[in-house]
Structure 1
Amino acid sequence: MQINTTFFKLNKIPILLTLASLLFYFSFAYNLTRSDYVKLITLFIALCYLAFKLIQIIGYNFKFLLVVSILSRLIFIVAIPNLSQDFYRFIWDGYLNLNNLNPYLFTPTQLVDQTINIPNKHLLYNKMGWLSNANYSNYPPVNQLCFIIANLCPGQSILSSVIGLRLLIILADLGIILIGSKLLLAFNLPKSNIFWYALNPFIIIELTGNLHFEGVMLFFFILGIYLIYKNKISLAGVCIGLSISIKLIPLIFLPVLLKWFLKHYNIKKTIQFYSIIALTVLITCLPYITTQFIDNYSQTIALWFNNFEFNASIYYIARHIGYKLTGYNQIAIIGKFLSITILLIILILSFVRKTETLKQVFTTCLLAFTTYLFLSTTVHPWYLSTLVLFSIFSNYKYPLVWSVTIILSYLAYINTNNTENLWIVFIEYLIVYLVFLYELLQPKLSRNQ
């Protein structure tokens, strides 16, 4: 008892900050609608402040912050996501797989009136929204496996599947904390840096809360980097391949890794690494591969560049110019042009920037993915998860700033039409670009990256 009293006295402020944080997370999870923008932003900003103070005050106590990170995620365990509806499609795809139906060959609209064993079928269909139910699945094969596992949780309710999805994401985040902290020590960086990811309210809400699988993808990717550091190249290739088969994002980082491999290994070893990645992806795709699968999946991915737009920056400027010149939205042309521009800039970054160390690889990957987001037509909040994680291995802080300002993108849902206020988008990006350019132009930062 004396020990507990002493512990409380020594850690009174961190404990009180933790309790306040957990109460705010509870309110966020169970007593918030995304249209209640005042409460949404107030809670989010408060949580960001509390996380900052916790790391500032007790960043040296790894175990304490690890416990806070876990508790913050467990608060959401039986909460139905209130800021995203994507999980309804995850559950739907999981049940299609369990019915031996290929989610890349059938849209929900084609199947909703068919006799298929999908619990809560019509509710899932209606809740996922028209954008999802009218299109083929765009979630890669290992992500589909996660959906299957989640639906195997006891019970056939939406909540049981949500708990299954959430447990997978929490386990992935715990893996990131473990592997990430080891890499930080290897790079001679503070071990506590990992909590800028693990305690970041944006990460907790978007991944554990809203059930986005960027965290699972990042776990396999960072595990792959750690295995490269340990010189276990074959296993690293498998992990990178699995990360691609959860989300396609790591494809962007393959050119960056190529330069590092060519410097540290011979051509044969480099070819071996990339062959294992390709083989892993191919094996995960085998249960789904048909000619129609390739056509449908490529068309679905193309939609994100040529048809959809949300929370963009440079694209919105290009769109405005297109309207002025032609009188209508030129997204198809602009989207293709920006895609080519993204590819060229990433290739230039990959082969021009220094990537002598794995720490420099992370920084170049950070800048490559920043390029992708700055030039994309669609930037959903959870896309930033990758930037937040990579930033802890660098001196750049703009991803952390962006993880705060990104909450403004949810103000699009305060009206019934879910239309964006471009002045709000402008404010979000003005802050991000100013911090980004300030850091980019700092000679000290550039030398150390």
Structure 2
Amino acid sequence: MSRLLWAVGIMAAAAGFFFLFQTTRSDTVTLLSLWGILFLLYGIAIRDWAKVPFKFLIGAAVVFRLFGMLHFPNLSDDVYRFIWDGRLLAHGYNPFLYLPSEILTTAIAFQAGLTEALFQKLNSPDYYTVYPPLLQGWFAAATTLGETEWATVFWLRLPIFLGELATLWLLYQLLNILGKDQTQAQRGVLLYALNPLAIVELVGNLHYEGLTICFLLAGLYFYLKQKQTSSATSLALAAGVKLLPLIFIPALLNKKDWEKSLKYVLTAGVVFLLPFLFFFNLTIIENISTSLDLYFRRFEFNASLYYLLRGIGTFVMGYNPIATIGPLLALVSISLILFFSWSKKLKLSLPERWLFALTTYLLCATTVHPWYIVPLLALSVLSRFRFPIAWSALLPLTYVAYGQSGFQENLWVVAVEYLVVLGWLGWELSHNKSVKEFRQ
């Protein structure tokens, strides 16, 4: 192995260490500098990967994720809601029924160990939890196994770390199934395994998209292996971690065999809904619906189409029309997802249909945090498209919003991000044979 690649590895380890253990999201200059270094080193490693044994690079990817197991999340405060919900459930209280702000001074909070200090760290104390029952069960287990916040965070992270290991294996297997040779398969796995955004945002900052990706790829793997029940179960588990994978089901339906499709949907539906039975209460439906409605109507961060329409709407109407634009974009998103899932004119593989379904959702969303696109990154490895890799390099720029003076989003940064990503996507589409055939 060349001295250059040894230097790249050492620099990546050093930059990763300082990033995880010495940086906060309000340290904008340091944060972006380290992101820049990490992505530069990532580019060099991907360019020269063939000069290094594949197992060595995979080992490095695993070690970098192990680094993430050893620090407290520094770029996201979602972990505190995980702990809050977990302590509630561990003490026998249904987390879907209580607003943190309503129970802080009650006996419930006292019995569950929900302190004022923990409450102050929550980013949405006036919203009902939206984390599905499958996650809630693990939150409760983690808070039981870990007596301190640090110990709890370790247990909360463990499934994500194990899921990432499974994801690397699944990507390699799927690339083989899709007809890639060994060299192509190895490079594809490394595109995901060494990507700084995937490493930092999943294990490092404790986002369960890592577990979602694992179940999602397992669903695809079993589907291509003609194991429908296992596929439906895996996809249901992915949706049980994050609701979003439900958008991938339409692409799996076979219009020529509705009986088979119905069996698939019913299997996935039963597995997905089963954990809800342990929490069943009519109030839950109302509370989750309320929080999801607020998500689409009030939350806004790093959006593309929404910001454009918001600007036009504000200019015309004199106020922010998010209450109207959010649901409208959701309908547009659903329509386009169905188009990409079912269009016969588009010569896309199943992973590519999923890729564009998710891309559509993200472009229509009112909120796009950096970790939201990591599943897109995994799907891109299985496709002919690489624009998610460019997106992963640009998304860290959104942390500019968390400066020393408080949260303030810079729309110029957002504009640059989406212009580059959409430009890259446009270039790839213009050079894609299936798209050319569709236009003709």
Q: How high is the TM-score relative to the length of structure 1?
A: 0.92
Task: Using the TM superposition, give the Cα deviation of residue 11 of structure 1 relative to its aligned residue in structure 2, in angstroms.
Answer: 5.2
1:443 matched to which residue of 2?
432
Task: Using the TM superposition, give the Cα deviation of residue 262 of structure 1 relative to its aligned residue in structure 2, in angstroms.
Answer: 3.7
Give the count of matched residue pairs. 431
Task: Using the TM superposition, give the Cα deviation of residue 168 of structure 1 relative to its aligned residue in structure 2, in angstroms.
Answer: 1.5
1:151 matched to which residue of 2?
143
2:86 matched to which residue of 1?
94
2:333 matched to which residue of 1?
342
Task: Using the TM superposition, give the Cα deviation of residue 165 of structure 1 relative to its aligned residue in structure 2, in angstroms.
Answer: 1.7
Q: Does structure 1 residue 270 correspond to structure 2 residue 261?
A: yes
Matches within 5 A, 1:333-412: 333-353=324-344, 360-412=349-401
Matches within 5 A, 1:17-96: 17-59=8-50, 61-96=53-88
Instruction: Structure 2 unaligned segments of length 5 or more: list them.
Output: none
Task: Using the TM superposition, give the Cα deviation of residue 296 of structure 1 relative to its aligned residue in structure 2, in angstroms.
Answer: 0.6
Does the Cα contact within 8 Å between 1:180 and 1:222 map onto a contact in 2?
yes
For residues 186 and 375 of structure 1, what CA distance do their matches in structure 2 show?
32
- Structure 1 stretch displaced more, 29-38 or 139-148: 139-148
Matches within 5 A, 1:415-434: 415-434=404-423
For residues 211 and 447 of structure 1, what CA distance do their matches in structure 2 show?
41
Task: Using the TM superposition, give the Cα deviation of residue 437 of structure 1 relative to its aligned residue in structure 2, in angstroms.
Answer: 1.1
For residues 363 and 58 of structure 2, what CA distance do their matches in structure 1 show?
32
| SS, match of residue 275 in structure 1 | helix
Task: Using the TM superposition, give the Cα deviation of residue 225 of structure 1 relative to its aligned residue in structure 2, in angstroms.
Answer: 1.0
Q: Does structure 1 residue 291 correspond to structure 2 residue 286?
A: no
Q: Does structure 1 residue 128 correspond to structure 2 residue 128?
A: no
Q: In structure 2, give the amino acid aligned to 1:329.
A: N
Aligned pair in 2 of structure 1 residues 147, 405: CA closer, same or farther (>3 Å)?
same
1:250 matched to which residue of 2?
245
1:6 matched to which residue of 2?
none
Aligned pair in 2 of structure 1 residues 124, 113: CA closer, same or farther (>3 Å)?
same
Task: Using the TM superposition, give the Cα deviation of residue 405 of structure 1 relative to its aligned residue in structure 2, in angstroms.
Answer: 0.6
Matches within 5 A, 1:160-309: 160-189=151-180, 190-192=184-186, 193-258=188-253, 261-262=254-255, 266-309=257-300
Does the Cα contact within 8 Å between 1:412 and 1:420 map onto a contact in 2?
yes
Does the Cα contact within 8 Å between 2:430 and 2:436 map onto a contact in 1?
no
Aligned pair in 2 of structure 1 residues 96, 52: CA closer, same or farther (>3 Å)?
same
Instruction: Structure 1 unaligned segments of length 5 or more: list them.
Output: 1-9
- Structure 1 stretch displaced more, 320-329 or 266-275: 266-275
Q: How high is the TM-score relative to the length of structure 2?
A: 0.94
- 1:112 pairs, out of 104, 113, 120, with 104
Task: Using the TM superposition, give the Cα deviation of residue 216 of structure 1 relative to its aligned residue in structure 2, in angstroms.
Answer: 0.3
Q: In structure 2, give the amino acid aligned to 1:243.
A: A
For residues 19 and 133 of structure 1, what CA distance do their matches in structure 2 show?
41
For residues 142 and 251 of structure 1, what CA distance do their matches in structure 2 show?
15
Q: In structure 1, give the amino acid aligned to 2:44.
A: K
Task: Using the TM superposition, give the Cα deviation of residue 167 of structure 1 relative to its aligned residue in structure 2, in angstroms.
Answer: 1.8
Task: Using the TM superposition, give the Cα deviation of residue 398 of structure 1 relative to its aligned residue in structure 2, in angstroms.
Answer: 0.8
Task: Using the TM superposition, give the Cα deviation of residue 122 of structure 1 relative to its aligned residue in structure 2, in angstroms.
Answer: 2.2
Task: Using the TM superposition, give the Cα deviation of residue 447 of structure 1 relative to its aligned residue in structure 2, in angstroms.
Answer: 7.1
Does the Cα contact within 8 Å between 1:179 and 1:226 map onto a contact in 2?
yes
Q: In structure 1, give the amino acid aligned to 2:167.
A: I
For residues 105 and 165 of structure 1, what CA distance do their matches in structure 2 show?
22
